[in-house]
């Protein structure tokens, strides 16, 4: 879909979406002729809340730490994140 910005005459910008997309050669492609079907299954979608919950816990812990630790201590803890990731990488994946 092709998106263009235009003004509605009242100073507000509107976003127009069309099915015709211009190409470099000057011709346009009409995507409405293509019968595309996009679908997902529950098995594909069910895995998304897991990393979302992990990020939520991480961000909540970060907020708690920022409230209770001075700036230099916080930076040291953030740098330990890189070290702990490397250690867990070696332990879990048994890589050197």
Interval 20-60: pLDDT, tens: 555 556 666 666 677 667 778 888 888 889 999 999 998 89
Interval 64-89: pLDDT, tens: 888 998 989 888 888 888 898 888 88
- Residue 9: both structure tokens together: 């005459």
Residue 54: CA atoms inside 13 Å, Cβ hemisphere, count? 4
Q: Which residue has the tokens 């890189």?
A: 82
Domain-wise residue ranges, the chain: 2-33, 42-93
Res 66: pLDDT: 87
pTM above 0.85, yes or no: no
User: How many CB atoms are located within 10 Å of the residue 18 CB?
Assistant: 14
């Amino acid at each position: 879909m092709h998106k263009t910005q235009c003004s509605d005459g009242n100073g507000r910008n509107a976003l127009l979406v069309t099915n015709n997309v211009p190409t470099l050669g000057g011709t346009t492609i009409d995507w409405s002729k293509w019968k595309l079907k996009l679908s997902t299954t529950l098995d594909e979608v069910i895995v998304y809340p897991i990393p979302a919950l992990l990020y939520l816990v991480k961000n909540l812990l970060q907020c708690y730490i920022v409230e209770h630790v001075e700036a230099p201590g916080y930076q040291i803890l953030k740098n330990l994140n890189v070290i702990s990731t490397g250690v867990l990488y070696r332990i879990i994946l048994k890589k050197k």
